[in-house]
Amino acid sequence: MTESSAHRADRRTTRRATRRKARGPHHWRHDLVELAALFTAVAVADSIAKTVAHGPDGPVLLVLSAAALLATAGIHIWWARRRHHPPPDPGGGPADAGSAQEPPVLWRLRTTVREEPGSLAALCTALAELRVDVIGLQTHPLGEMTVDEFLLRAPRALEAAELGRAAAAAGGRDTWLERADAHDLVDTPTRVLGLATRTALDSAELPLALRQLLGRCTIRSVPSRATGGQPHGEPCGDEVPEDGVLEGTVIRMRDPHGGTIVVERPHLPFTPTEFARARALVELDTRLDAQPDPRPAGAAGSGPGAEPAGRMPRRRETLTLPEGNEITVRRADTCDLEAARAMHRRCSARTLAARYHGPVRDADRYLNHLLSPRFGRTLAAETASGKLVALGHLMWDGDETEVALLVEDVWQRRGIGAELLRRLVAMATEARCESVYAVTQSHNTGMVAAMRGLGLPLDYQVEEGTLVITARLVPVPAAAETGPR
């Protein structure tokens, strides 16, 4: 017998002994009493059976007695179950059994109702009838009308069309629906304060903050006339009122860096409340840009050991290349313009043409735009002596995101571009971008290999000899390290 079997046998013996001890000592008198009771019961049953059987309706009485006993047993079982089990949830029958196990989904619903007592209650009642939980609400007054924006938790089986019909039946019009995610669970004041903090710490955060504040929209920065701006007939910064302008689905505001910030949302008009929030965020950015640099004179720039000026994280990360050389990766901006131009002069015409896809003589013209924090984020790789040897750009292209790399010839094929690209993609993921794309040539094997090295799903498109590689991003935990921001 194994040890476990022996333990089980010991436990059974102990249980039997415990039960015998609980019953107390056994006496023969108990057996006599039980036998006497048995004989008495048999005699009584025999007398009743003979009386019934010899009566005129004996068989009928026996059948009725059996039916009465069965009915009594059934009533007892029903009553016992009713006492020990709560009643089922209203509306939760067999049809709901499968859906109850499925997790609910989040929706953002926006609808316009008349500004009158009971309108909001009618909407909430209509949603409650569909077993929809209202977990967030914002109101945007419009005089005689009000735009109500809900964050809803709904059964997965509930279709968007049903939600729209319920809102319309309750008096809503111009209803708009969109799937939400866990980020929308944060209440509006907390989210706005977080966006303001990010904008205060990093001047490149304003376009992202506006997009997260206003939802799915397109952010464009139109250069001023002084810098050769006014593309697509857009008004320049000096032509936009100081307080900005709201025109239905378009918001225009003066850019603190010069030019105009244009926010477009064709699928949904902006409300005055949203316009006021966006204007307050831009005003914060403008006031912070007006603050003097607190560092001593000469501290800014791109020389050895110097940090770039402007509002951006000062983090620097040192990387050791396979051959043993160390490079530093940090954020860059327009203060690195001269260093970037010097790197251009050291790059070959082939390298510049592969990066800019145009005449090499025009390469320097793009730098001021690329290094501006208004259009995205830039990472710089520099040697221990402070010489700039590579640039990586993450550019906000409307509602899309582009990545681009430029590595000086003598520093290519050492993994610098791959390291920069990995950090740029981590930034894009943190900014909740769904994908990033790179525009290159098929013969640019370095860029193609770097994109493949990300380990992300890739989509390839060839347009007139130009290769566009799109990588679909996978969300990462918020606490993950993303390198210099």
Full-prediction pTM beyond 0.85? no
CB 206 within 8 A of CB 374: yes
CB 317 within 8 A of CB 382: no
SS3 of residue 438 by DSSP: strand
Residue 119 reports pLDDT greater than 70? yes
Do residue 436 and residue 401 come from a single domain? yes
Give the residue with greater pLDDT, 65 vs 408: 408
**β 145-154/173-179 pair status:** unpaired
For 156-195, the pLDDT digits (tens) are 889 889 999 999 999 998 999 988 877 777 777 888 888 8
Do residue 437 and residue 341 come from a single domain? yes
Which tokens in the block code for residue 385?
């002596």
Q: What are phi and psi of 64, to 5 degrees?
A: -65, -40
Do residue 342 and residue 406 come from a single domain? yes
Confidence of residue 18 (pLDDT cuts 50, 70, 90): very low
pLDDT number for residue 64? 74
Which tokens in the block code for residue 315?
């983090």
Q: Given 134, 166, 184, which residue is the final one in a domain?
A: 184
Do residue 391 and residue 359 come from a single domain? yes
Residue 399 reports pLDDT greater than 90? no
CB 462 within 8 A of CB 416: no
SS3 of residue 223 by DSSP: coil
Do residue 362 and residue 270 come from a single domain? no
- CATH number, position 151: 3.30.70.260
Do residue 203 and residue 107 come from a single domain? no
Do residue 164 and residue 273 come from a single domain? no
- CATH number, position 419: 3.40.630.30
> 201 is in which domain, residue-wise?
188-289
| R_g (Cα) of the chain, nearest Å | 38
Alpha carbon distance 478, 439 (integer Å): 28
Do residue 386 and residue 408 come from a single domain? yes
Do residue 467 and residue 322 come from a single domain? yes
Residue 375 reports pLDDT greater than 50? yes
Do residue 149 and residue 268 come from a single domain? no
Give the residue with greater pLDDT, 361 vs 457: 457
Residue 372 reports pLDDT greater than 70? yes
Mean local confidence (pLDDT), 383-405: 88
Spell out the residues 6+ positions from residue 98 whose beta carbon is closer than 8 angstroms to its own: none
- Percent of the chain scoring above 70 in pLDDT: 76
Do residue 274 and residue 355 come from a single domain? no
Please report whether residue 25 resides in a domain: no
Spell out the residues 6+ positions from residue 246 whose beta carbon is closer than 8 angstroms to its own: 270, 272, 275
For 131-156, the pLDDT digits (tens) are 999 988 888 988 889 999 999 999 98
For 300-312, the pLDDT digits (tens) are 444 443 333 457 7
For 284-294, the pLDDT digits (tens) are 888 887 665 54
Do residue 391 and residue 463 come from a single domain? yes
If residue 422 lies in a helix (H) or strand (E), which one and from where to where?
helix 416-430
Number of domains forming the structure of the chain: 3
Give the residue with greater pLDDT, 299 vs 386: 386
The average confidence (pLDDT) of the chain is: 78
Q: Given 153, 168, 184, which residue is the final one in a domain?
A: 184
Give the residue with greater pLDDT, 356 vs 186: 356
Residue 240 reports pLDDT greater than 80? yes
Q: 4-13, 288-297, 346-355, 404-413: which has the minimum mean pLDDT?
A: 4-13
Of the ranges 56-65, 97-106, 222-231, 248-257, the best mean pLDDT one:
248-257
- Percent of the chain scoring above 90 in pLDDT: 27
- Number of H helices and E strands in the chain, helices first, is 14, 16
